[in-house]
């Protein structure tokens, strides 16, 4: 079974915003998804946040085009009332992180990829940085 990676918003901003020094690792993950070796999933919430952040620095139409291309390789997890209710009742300190986590769980992801692992300390699924995930593949 191929890995089903849930990408936290910060990782998608790194990818589409080509933010150094984080870009290369997440670009390798995107390439694995493009080749069909893994699946990547993001929450519906991620798209609006990514657009907001990156469009402050880049032309809005260019940002939309980047998102269109990303959607070809990424599956979207719906943000439902059930997920919002779970997030509101969770122990997470950050509401947005809890939404992301329950989107990942709701769509059966087996790994959550983020640069803020400490924000997901109560996770029932493994939480790895892009580098940690890539290193785990080398060790298989």
Domain residue extents for the chain: 4-138
Q: Determine which helix (DSSP H) or strand (DSSP E) holds 26, and give its type and residue range.
A: helix 23-34
State how far the Cα of 29 lies from the Cα of 131, in Å rounded to an integer: 9
Q: Give SS3 for 47.
A: helix
Predicted confidence band at 122 (pLDDT cuts at 50, 70, 90)?
confident
pLDDT at 140 over 90: no
Q: What does pLDDT average to over the chain?
A: 95
pLDDT at 114 over 80: yes
Highest mean pLDDT among 93-97, 120-124, 126-130 belongs to 126-130
Tell me the DSSP string of 1-49: ---EEEEPHHHHHHHHTT-TTTHHHHHHHHHHHHTTSSEEEEEHHHHHH
pLDDT at 81 over 80: yes
User: Whose structure tokens read 């209710």?
Assistant: 85
pLDDT at 73 over 80: yes
Tell me the DSSP string of 73-134: HEEEE---HHHHHHHHHS--SSHHHHHHHHHHHHTT-SEEE-S-GGGGTT-SS-EE-HHHHH
Q: What mean pLDDT comes out for the span 92-109?
A: 95
What local confidence, expressed as pLDDT, does residue 51 receive?
Answer: 97
Half-sphere exposure of 78 (CA within 13 A, CB side): 3
The domain 4-138 having CATH identifier 3.30.565.10: the answer here is no
pLDDT tens-place string over residues 13-58: 999 999 999 999 999 999 999 999 999 999 999 999 999 999 999 9
User: Whose structure tokens read 């580098």?
Assistant: 131
What local confidence, expressed as pLDDT, does residue 138 receive?
Answer: 85
| pTM of the shown model | 0.95
Q: What mean pLDDT comes out for the span 53-70?
A: 96
What local confidence, expressed as pLDDT, does residue 106 receive?
Answer: 95
pLDDT at 139 over 90: no
Left (φ > 0), alpha (ψ -120 to 50) or beta: where does 17 sit? Answer: alpha
Q: Determine which helix (DSSP H) or strand (DSSP E) holds 137, and give its type and residue range.
A: helix 130-138
């Amino acid at each position: 079974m191929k890995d089903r990676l849930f990408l936290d918003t910060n990782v998608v901003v790194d990818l589409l915003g080509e933010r150094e020094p984080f870009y290369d690792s997440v670009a390798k993950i995107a390439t694995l998804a493009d080749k069909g070796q893994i699946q990547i999933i993001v929450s519906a919430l991620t798209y609006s946040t990514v657009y907001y952040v990156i469009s402050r620095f880049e032309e809005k139409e260019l940002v939309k085009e980047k998102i269109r291309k990303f959607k070809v390789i990424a599956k979207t997890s719906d943000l439902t009332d059930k997920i919002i209710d779970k997030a509101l009742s969770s122990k997470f300190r950050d509401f947005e992180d809890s939404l992301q986590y329950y989107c990942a769980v709701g769509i059966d992801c087996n790994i959550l990829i983020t640069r803020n692992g400490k924000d997901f300390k109560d996770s029932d699924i493994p939480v790895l940085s892009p580098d940690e995930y890539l290193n785990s593949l080398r060790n298989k």
